[in-house]
Amino acid sequence: MATALGAISIVTVVGVIVGLAGAGTKSLIAPYFRWVQLGVGIFLIGVATFHLLGFTHRLTFVGPVMSFGSRVWDRATRQKTSGSSYLLGAGFVLVGVG
């Protein structure tokens, strides 16, 4: 239960941030939506390629998020408490987001 709560809380925070950012930029992006989609798609393909080649740690934002998530994951799997289970879920999502 705590693991799921940790995962849900991280996904909720990221969703709120993306939702607020998206609502504020809707009028700016709408005329160029096809180009924005193409740009985001190319960015995601690039991040996936870096990840598959093992160069993720070189990316400015992705590397620190993944290393933080990995540290949280390692700490949570060593100690078996409800707090560490929460961190396990949060770390799982952070590593997945990175």
Burial class (CB within 10 angstroms; exposed 0-12, middle 13-18, buried 19+) of 75 = middle
Chain centroid to CA 67: 12
Q: Which residue ranges make up each domain of the chain?
A: 2-97
Residue 98 has pLDDT above 60, yes or no: no
pTM of the full predicted structure?
A: 0.48
- Measuring CA to CA, which residue among 38, 65, 40 is closest to residue 51? 65
- Which residues lie below 8 Å from residue 57, measured CB to CB, with a gap of 6+? 63, 66, 67
pLDDT in tens, 30-60: 777 788 788 888 988 887 787 788 776 677 7
- Measuring CA to CA, which residue among 96, 64, 97, 80 is closest to residue 3? 80
Single-letter residue type at 5: L
Q: At 35, list the tokens.
A: 């180009």
- What pLDDT is recorded for position 97? 64
